[in-house]
Structure 1
Amino acid sequence: MKHLRMTLKLIAATAVAFIPPLLAQTATPAPGANALILGSWKSQVEFDAVKITCGKETVLNDSFDRQQSGWKPESGNWQIANGVLIQSSAATPALTRYAFTCTSPDYTVDVRVRKTGGAEGFLIGFGAKDERNFYWLNLGGWNNTAHCLEKTDDGQRHPIGTSSKGNLEKDRWYNVRIEVNGKQIKCFLDDKQIIETTDSGFTLPPDNDLVNFGHALIPDMVADPSISEIDGTFYLYATTDGWGKGLSTSGMPVVWTSKDFLNWSFEGSSFPPDFDLKYWAPSTIMHRNGRYYSFTTLDGIITVVVADSPLGPFVAPNGQHVTKATIQPYQIEQKSSIDAEVFTDDDGQSYMFWSRRRAVKLKPDLLSPDGPMITIPTSRQGYSEGPFLVKRNGIYYYFYTLGGGESYQYAYMMSRKSPIGPWEAPKDDIIATSDLDQKVFGPGHGCFFSPKDSNQWYFVYLEYGRGGTNRQIYVDKMNFNPDGTIQPIKLTKTGVGALRQLVDPLPNLALKRPVASSSVLPKSRVDLRKDQNLYRIEAHTSENATDGANGTRWMAATNDTAPWLCIDLGEVRDISRTETYFVKPAAGHAYKIEWSLDGKSWHPYGGHDDVIFRSPHVDRKSIRARYMKLTILNGERGVWEFRIY
């Protein structure tokens, strides 16, 4: 009778949890913590003669002649009978775990196993740091057609190495051996090597939120941006992201404004208090007949709303508040219709463009179409959204997206005749795509604009961010060739800085200063959907609140009921103002700020007990202090930036 033998040599790693620099706490996991996992997928299996050897010490030697403590079934139906460990269900997966500690950096696992029924084979896991980080060898997977080594990293499972074709026979006992030398892993089936690969284990990369998230334009999660410049002020309209329920919801609609394109703020909702719709992808604002028009997607329906001010409050053209009960769909085909954008030509004629390459002329009042819908003939096919149209030097540019998620791209067409064609496709029509070197993934639904009295154009776009509807927006320069074609846009996360004179040139005293906090949310890995190159870790460290970057944030632990930040200015300084940019500001915050000369005796500085919807929260008071402490009383437990002037 043949035997199944697995040989594993793993170098144990010890990870130290992040502790704020001013807190006298330390935390280190137990050295060599590990676990063996036995299991199956859509199959019934039997295990026998399980042995774990750490160096020269035998940690486990279980022939299942009797019940042995330590095994923890997690799923499936497990029992010991007739000298074997039996799994009799068709669970996907069925798992049982044996935790152990190995004082040696090397260990060996031996097992004897067979399949007794079902569609697939069996699983043998190892190197298990916890429930979200482990390897397993999947033998007879994919409907019993292949053998593959898989790694579950922060809850996401993916294959590593090259899989091997093969199947498992019912009721046959197999010999398997797995050898791991440092980062090298070799897998053998009946003494024949079937897999060889290298892997770096489960240690998360160094904390570098600045590289991963960088200098976002807005200190919040927003997407689908449109920008207008009106009377010396930039107005940014966007989907409010980060509400935690995907496309089933959205955050409160707000209008971000800036005088210099660097420092942005909003105050309250841009709709009346009874607004109760999902708010997506508002268009560039249009001024006509003394009113401001916005074409936005409300509960998946393209709708036009108007206001007397670009800040709102926006209502229906007839003055009625817009709610689920009163929403008035725009007079176009509403099937899969989102992401409306309006362009007005030099002759005053306006056109609307929306998802799936559709377009239509509009009547002078902008309230209805003026003619039939047309479809823009693009050189690339497939689903498309986020359209945008601009005119430069007599050439019309139609921008459209391809794909989605971390694989978003932007392409374009050109017309030298009119906003609705005829169209030509430039040779290099993809102008924005993921850049692995710059850590930019999925540049998607955005806008293209040139500030007044400037020849420089900019691309403002959403980036994959933290995945799903947890995106942020970035800006990069867009340049043209002499023939009018567009150069591929160099995507970065460094930002473009101020486009106008700075509103307040005073230095931020908190910038790069030491900061402590009550707690820090553990590191997390951003979920990927399509691109295996995306490996993004968010560390949530306290220093993120003083690094001067809108893309990084401090987040307190979920069980922290009184989260706080404390900044040490290094010496007593004159202070006149603080600005606090909270995470999820459209949900509102209450907070308090205190000051101290010695870090022991604290005095009130600012804040409020009532929940207010704005960003930033500004407090003004002239004092001399060395330490400033922010405590969140209500609202999301996190801060993008805490500035002191």
Structure 2
Amino acid sequence: MKKTIRIVFMLMCFLSVIKMKAQNPIIKDIFTADPAPIVHKGTLYLYTGHDVATEQDTNYKMADWHVFSTTNMKDWKDHGALLSPSTFSWATGDAYAAQCIERDGKFYWFVSTFHKKDDRSGGGAAIGVAVSDSPIGPFKDAIGKALIINEMTTDMKYAWDDIDPTVFVDDDGQAYMFWGNGSCKWVKIKKNMTELDGEITTFKPKNYIEGPWVYKRKGLYYLVYASAGTKPEMIEYCTAKSITGPWTYQGIIQENVQNSFTTHPGIIDFKGKSYFFYHNGSLPTGGSYRRSICVDYMHYNKDGTIQKIIQTTEGIGKIK
């Protein structure tokens, strides 16, 4: 009997140690998805979706967008739901993937949701932009209408292809937005970050499905995305010497995630290290419609190619 009690006690201690060491998922009190990190004045801000589907639901229910922040990659502050589709008078439906970017002292939050049927659009997925003087708001609709509506892109013959915007400002000051489900689209954005600056270009990288993330590192451009080469999704990527391509396929960097059909990349350098954010369904009662954001280290080879992401429950170390 004493031996049994001792074994149970040791097992409980062991599980307690594992729990203390397990950082991933990094947000545990609500279900979060579609991570989008930025760094501003020594703080990393993480913009996320918010899954509110029940365990019985068989489709996405995403109520709003949240913001979290950290200075050490271990302690996360929840700033709450700072934006929702109801912020936009033209919007309806769910809060799909989004990204916030800073320019000239203002913060532009590009979001994907759905458009009401009205004189401008027959409905379908749309992209809007909110603006604030602070990374934690308050945010308001920057232009009073959608930046992208379904009628602007016709290559995909369904209504939900205009989702998942990622925005990048190049060294010469020119801004670009990439987005799309089924095909990848890109367009130049004017300096005011609220108007298109030219025609929309559509292309399809190998195995591309959705969730693009565009950035530049040491003169090389990266297009990272969720792939449809297998199901569930993986993360694959291309590189280019120009933001407009041509893009060279480089391969898979993240395999399937735990207990979720989808995954979504968010990549950032912060205080000397590179980090890869993603979501899975690993929280208790989690799943494809109840996802949670994780973060692990990201490493590059000397030629700029990305090493395979090692998914862990431990996550990353605390920054002093």
With over 3 angstroms needed to count, the CA separation of the structure-2 counterparts of 1:480 and 1:376, relative to structure 1, is: farther
Which of 265, 276, 279 does residue 95 from structure 2 map onto?
A: 279
Choose the corresponding residue for 1:230, options 40, 51, 54: 40
Give the CA deviation at 1:273.
11
Correspondence for 1:297 among 65, 90, 112: 112
Greater Rg over alpha carbons, structure: 1
Cα 1:248–1:422 shift into 2, 3 Å: closer
Q: Does structure 1 residue 487 correspond to structure 2 residue 307?
A: yes
Aligned to 1:253: 65
1:217 pairs, out of 2, 12, 26, with 26
Distance apart, 1:387 and its partner CA = 0.1
CA distance in structure 1 between the aligned counterparts of 2:212 and 2:86, rounded to whole angstroms: 30
Match status 1:396 vs 2:196: no
1:385/1:251 Cα in 2 relative to 1: closer, same or farther (>3 Å)? same
Cα 1:408–1:331 shift into 2, 3 Å:
closer
Tell me the alpha carbon deviations over residues 359-401 of structure 1, each in whole angstroms, 9 at most, x when there is no partner.
11111111122122123442x23x6111011111111111111
User: 1:387 and 2:204 equivalent?
Assistant: no
Which whole-Å CA distance do the structure 2 matches of 1:440 and 1:481 have between them?
30
Q: Is residue 230 of structure 2 the alignment partner of residue 430 of structure 1? A: no
Give aligned pairs, total: 276
Q: Residue 484 of structure 1: CA displacement?
A: 1.5
Does the 8 Å CA contact 1:227/1:236 hold for their aligned counterparts? Answer: yes
Structure 1 residue 329 corresponds to structure 2 residue 156: no
Which residue number corresponds to residue 131 of structure 2? 306
**Structure 1 residue 443: Cα displacement:** 6.8
The corresponding residue for 2:202 is 375
Deviation (angstroms), 1:346: 1.1
Cα shift at 1:251: 2.9
The amino acid of 2:280's aligned partner reads E
Percent of residue pairs identical: 32
1:414, 1:359 → 2: CA distance? 15
**Shift in alpha-carbon separation, 1:414–1:252, aligned structure 2, 3 A:** closer
- Deviations 1:426-482 (CA, angstroms, capped at 9, x unpaired): 3xx1111037xxx68667112111114x1x321100113322211111111111111
Contact 1:359 1:375 in 2 (8 A): yes
Output the CA distance in 1 between the equivalents of 2:225 and 2:107.
25
**Cα shift readout 1:537-571 (whole Å, capped 9, x = no counterpart):** xxxxxxxxxxxxxxxxxxxxxxxxxxxxxxxxxxx
The code of the aligned residue for 1:242 comes to: V
CA 1:495 to 1:248, structure 2 compared with 1: closer, same or farther past 3 Å? Answer: closer
Q: Which runs of 5+ in 2 are unaligned?
A: 1-8, 10-14, 115-124, 154-158
Tell me, in whole angstroms, the C-alpha distance in 1 between the residues paired with 2:60 and 2:237.
30
CA contact (8 A) 1:433 1:441 kept: no
Structure 1 pair 440–467 and aligned structure 2 pair: CA distance change class (3 A): closer
Deviation for aligned residue 1:239:
0.6
The reply on whether 1:346 has 2:171 as its aligned counterpart is yes
Cα pair distance change 1:214/1:229, threshold 3 Å: closer
- Does the 8 Å contact 2:235/2:265 carry over to 1? no
> Aligned partners of 2:46, 2:162: CA distance in 1, in Å?
22
What amino acid maps onto 2:192 in structure 1? D
CA 1:394/1:268 → structure 2, altered by over 3 Å: closer, same or farther?
Answer: closer
**Number of the residue aligned with 2:240:** 415
* 8 Å contact kept, 2:51–2:60: no
**1:387 partner SS:** strand
Answer yes or no: is the 8 Å Cα contact 2:96–2:111 preserved in 1. yes
Give the RMSD, CA atoms, in angstroms. 3.1
Distance across 2 between alignment mates of 1:234 and 1:405: 32
* Residue aligning to 1:478: 298
Q: Which residue of 1 aligns with 2:122?
A: none
User: How far did 1:406 drift?
Assistant: 7.0
User: For residues 260 and 288 of structure 2, what CA distance do their matches in structure 1 show?
Assistant: 12
Aligned partner letter, 2:296: D
Distance 1:232 1:279, change over 3 A: same
Q: Distance in 2 between matches of 1:239 and 1:447?
A: 13
Aligned partner of 1:279: which letter? Answer: A
Deviation at 1:263, TM superposition (A): 1.1
Deviations 1:141-198 (A, max 9, x none): xxxxxxxxxxxxxxxxxxxxxxxxxxxxxxxxxxxxxxxxxxxxxxxxxxxxxxxxxx
SS at match of 1:223: strand
Question: Could you say which structure has the higher helix fraction?
Answer: 2
**Distance in 2 between the 1:404 and 1:247 partners?**
22
Alpha-carbon distance, 1:243 to partner:
3.4
TM-score (norm 2): 0.76
Unaligned residue ranges in structure 1 (runs of 5+): 1-20, 22-205, 321-327, 502-645
Return 222-231 or 304-313, whichever deviates more.
Answer: 304-313
- The residue correspondences of 1:544-559 to structure 2 (distance < 5 A) are none
C-alpha contact (below 8 Å) 2:296/2:310 kept by paired residues: yes
Give the distance between the partners of 2:163 and 2:179, measured in 1 at CA: 6
Match of 1:461 in 2: 278
- Aligned residue number for residue 529 of structure 1: none
The alpha-carbon distance between structure 1 residues 484 and 253, as it changes in their structure 2 partners (threshold 3 A), is closer
1:384-422 alpha-carbon deviations (Å, 9 max, x no partner)? 111011111111111111139972101111112x11112
Q: Which amino acid aligns with 2:275?
A: Y
3-state DSSP of counterpart to 1:229: strand
- How many angstroms apart in 2 are the aligned matches of 1:407 and 1:273? 27
Choose 291-300 or 399-408, whichever is displaced more. Answer: 399-408
Q: Distance in 1 between matches of 2:174 and 2:58?
A: 37
Measure the CA separation in 2 of the matches of 1:246 and 1:309.
36
